[in-house]
Amino acid sequence: MWTTISYICWAISAVLAAWMLWDWYKTDSEYSEEVLTSSREGEIEAVSEKHQLKN
Amino acid sequence: MTIATVAADKKEVPKRVSLLRVLGPGHVWALGVGIVLVGEFTGWNFSADKGGALAALITCWFVGLLYTSVAMIDSEVTSTVAAAGGQYAQAKHIIGPLMAFNVALFLVFAYTMLEVSDAILAGDTIVARAATEGLTHNSFIAVCIVVLAFLNYRGVLMTLNINFVVTALAYATIVILFFSVQPWSQGAVLKLGDMVTPQNALPYGWIGVIAAFQFAIWYYLGIEGTTQAAEEVRSPARSLPYGTMAGMITLLIAAALTWYVCASVLPWQYLGVTFYPLWDAAKMTGSPVLEFLLFWGTILSAIASANGCINDAARAWFSLGRDRYLPTWFSAVHPKYRTPYRSILFLLPIALAFAFIADLNQAITFSILSGVLHYTFMSINIIMFRNKWPVGSIRRGYTHPFHPVPAIMLLTLCIITFFAIFLGYGSQLIAMVIFYVVVSLWFHFYRYRYVRRGDQFTMPWPKPQGY
């Protein structure tokens, strides 16, 4: 039984790894590098500061 | 300007994407305790091998002080510097880029090696339970790391919801074991007086207590990981101090219960070498139900820890990319799942490779070494933070008491732990320090030219005092 479970574990790992690689490829193809790397540290804090000033 | 939004219409391409702010204090608790709790199921007990059962208890208290200082210091600084990367972002703003680069590497190493250790532990525990000839741990290691990476890839909210449940279940097994052995009635099951006697309590004297510090770190190693969620919690100033301090209280209770039960049923010579102190303690009770529960407690704690480590290591790596300390390619955020997906995928094969080739002791030692280097930085960081931006000069979500006592205590305990590590793993300590010196030189003389120096400092703070 444990040997079978071991093979199932390999199969699950392979399927999920393949899915992540496929999604990675799809995402990188669909969106520009500029959009994907557009996150900036502290942006939300800056906005909340502005929000408080307006109030 | 509208920032970081996914378009309501799926066909519309968002202009900018960032991590999602969806977490609350419970998730912060799940992240911190989830990473650490595995240390009660294995790791801490090697301190008994170094100095005896009493040394394991003494160091549990002193290392508890060290980590309480860590939690308090972290809560104060992170409630102010709420950015992914946690201590990396703190170091960048308070000390400078070179320190920040090193801190991020400490974080990535500490969490990746801890993830590796967790996966090996989960695999070995299943193999030990299966007792089937020819069965190896590799498939279980692979499924553990890949499934958790998949979860992390698909979103932080689901990942930490699952971590909350898994951590709570693992914690419950310790509590159930504690009450099942009738702790109020010594002699019924527990025999602390027979196991720990004046003759064997400290078999190597006080030097054994010092040596035990190295593995006592495992009672609490990783609680500082809560800060990596800073950019994804809804209210950092409230959630991070609550989650971190509640996590520390939870762990202090777990550590005390674990030592009491294990030291009361297992002789120190065995306690110091087994990989499964709680599972073995459950076996000693003779109850198949407790044995079953603690087997699953061990597995679940390893899974929760690996899950949190993937989350934290990926965010530290992502932050390095975002500031151009590493190629910006790593700073990509998934437009749908809002996770640092490239960092998660990049670290996945590294973790798998180490898990397949490294042994548990090596992985644990590298994780501890990076962790202690990191704590040493924190003690210096908080003193500089208070000097540059005294209380009242900027808004803090939490202000820790008795400054600078926690910082001094933390630094002192770190020095003792370095000495303890040097006694047991001197060559690894030296090798690791050489590694950090080499990568620091690479960063200073080569990589830093690519960094946009003004862009990396993002906190809207006043000029530091004295500048």
The pLDDT score that the predictor gives to residue A44 is 52
Convert the pLDDT of each residue in B192-233 to its tens digit: 999 999 999 999 999 999 999 988 988 998 899 999 888 899
Convert the pLDDT of each residue in B312-369 to its tens digit: 999 999 999 999 999 999 999 999 999 999 999 999 999 999 999 987 777 777 888 8
What are the extents of the domains in chain A? 2-54
A44 and B140 within 8 Å at the Cβ level: the answer is no
Residue A17 pLDDT greater than 70, yes or no:
yes
How is residue A24 written in tokens? 């990675």
Q: Of B68-77, B82-91, B263-272, give the lowest mean pLDDT range.
A: B82-91
Interface contact A54, partner B, CB < 8 A? no
Interface contact A29, partner B, CB < 8 A? no
The pLDDT score that the predictor gives to residue B143 is 97
With beta carbons under 8 A apart, name residues in chain B contacting A43: 3-4, 18, 458
List domains and CATH numbers for chain B. 26-449 (1.20.1740.10)
Average of pLDDT values for B235-245? Answer: 89
B21 and A44 within 8 Å at the Cβ level: the answer is yes
Interface contact A11, partner B, CB < 8 A? no
Determine the Cα–Cα distance for residues B4 and A8; give it in Å rounded to an integer: 40
Nearest to B16 among A12, A23, A35 (CB): A35
User: Of B128, B339, B328, B322, whose CA–CA distance to B232 is shortest?
Assistant: B339
Residue B442 pLDDT greater than 90, yes or no:
yes
Residue A52 pLDDT greater than 80, yes or no:
no
Residue B411 pLDDT greater than 90, yes or no:
yes
With beta carbons under 8 A apart, name residues in chain B contacting A45: 82, 458-460
- pLDDT bin (cut points 50, 70, 90) of residue B413 is confident
The pTM score is 0.91
The pLDDT score that the predictor gives to residue B2 is 42
- pLDDT bin (cut points 50, 70, 90) of residue B81 is confident
Residue A51 pLDDT greater than 60, yes or no:
no
Nearest to B132 among A3, A38, A42 (CB): A3
CA distance A11 to chain B (A): 9
The pLDDT score that the predictor gives to residue B208 is 94
Interface contact A20, partner B, CB < 8 A? yes
CA distance B319 to chain A (A): 8
Nearest to B143 among A13, A46, A47 (CB): A13
Residue B142 pLDDT greater than 80, yes or no:
yes
With a cut of 0.85, is the ipTM above it? yes
CA of B327: which chain A residue's CA is closest?
A37
Residue B94 pLDDT greater than 90, yes or no:
yes
Percent above pLDDT 90 for chain B: 72
Convert the pLDDT of each residue in B147-157 to its tens digit: 999 999 999 99
Q: Establish, for the pair of chains A and B, how many residue pairs have beta carbons separated by less than 8 Å.
A: 118
Interface contact A42, partner B, CB < 8 A? yes
B143 and A38 within 8 Å at the Cβ level: the answer is no
Nearest to A35 among B13, B82, B336 (CB): B13
- pLDDT bin (cut points 50, 70, 90) of residue B422 is confident
B322 and A2 within 8 Å at the Cβ level: the answer is no
- pLDDT bin (cut points 50, 70, 90) of residue B13 is low
The pLDDT score that the predictor gives to residue B238 is 87
CA of A22: which chain B residue's CA is closest?
B345
Nearest to A31 among B13, B135, B153 (CB): B13
The rounded mean pLDDT for chain B is: 91
With beta carbons under 8 A apart, name residues in chain A contacting B143: 9-10, 12-13
Nearest to A45 among B13, B334, B460 (CB): B460
CA distance B331 to chain A (A): 6
Convert the pLDDT of each residue in B282-301 to its tens digit: 999 999 999 999 999 999 99
- pLDDT bin (cut points 50, 70, 90) of residue B12 is low
Average of pLDDT values for B89-109? Answer: 93
